[in-house]
Amino acid sequence: MTRASGERLRILVTGANGQLGRELALWDGPGAEQLEIRGFGRSELDITDLEQCRTVIQSFQPHAVIHCAAYTAVDQAETDIDGSFRVNAAGTRNIAVAAREVGAKLAYVSTDYVFDGTSEVPYNEYDIPKPRTIYGKSKLAGEQLVSTLHDRYFIVRTSWVYGPYGANFVKTMLKVGAERGAVKVVQDQIGSPTYTWDLAAMLLELVHTDAYGIYHASNSGTCSWYEFAVAIFEEQGMLVHTEPCTTAEFPRPAPRPAFSVMDHCAIRVNGLTPMRNWREALKDYLHRV
């Protein structure tokens, strides 16, 4: 769909009750006055229903769709295989088909879990995915359907997401730290925390462009979950005894990537705004909430 001169960019957001979807749907950051963003939660848009996807998207006539809705229960997905693929693969297919039919660009939010986490250097956008979990496999299936069914797409992989809406690691640490005064956190998983405000800003900048393709988007810098927890307590001024431990001490149904740091090559080569350091973003988030 072509946008008339002076017309506000209409953006439809799926998964608007989730962490990132809500951040986008309630966006009041840079450029907000030039945007018309409409968010749809599960009760208003069931992405597993193709006809409903068509009806909702056709009625709003967006210039771009940012697809945040996903099945994100990583451990549960290991046994609910069909449920995971129904949402992350078939649901994404439905959004891709409906978005293309109205001529809308499509930004699909994916994950570091498409990689196996065995690398020792940051993952590039064009490294071959090798997911180890059902969640990762279903999100990769979504990527493949987007790239097959749509001709103007952005696939945006992110990691360790937190923000003011919904449950996340930062909120858990603040709660457990306040209640118990001590926490045990894994130190052998390395990644990059990502603040939803910064990720939303990146996605909104991206959909204004025609720089289609795959992107890795996380705040810059790296840390372990243990180092992240220590930083949370330091920034919040909380005295919490924080003890490092290994992944083996906390076995989970779905294996966690030991290394999920992603290189931001596509952001750099396409001249997009680099995402700030994770510690600075964390400071901003704690001040905001």
Is residue 142 within 8 A of residue 232, CB to CB? The reply is no
The verdict on whether 212 is a catalytic residue reads no
Q: Tokens at residue 286, please?
A: 């704690």
- Nearest Cα to Cα of residue 11 among 149, 109, 98, 105: 105
Can you tell me which residue has the tokens 């071959």?
Answer: 128
Is residue 274 within 8 A of residue 267, CB to CB? The reply is yes
The catalytically annotated residue of 71, 135, 162, 195 is 135
Strands (E), 237-282: 241-245
Which three-class secondary structure state does DSSP give residue 3? coil
Q: Tokens at residue 53, please?
A: 């996807």
Neighbours of 126 (CB within 10 A): 9
- Nearest Cα to Cα of residue 10 among 73, 57, 70: 57
Residues designated catalytic = 135
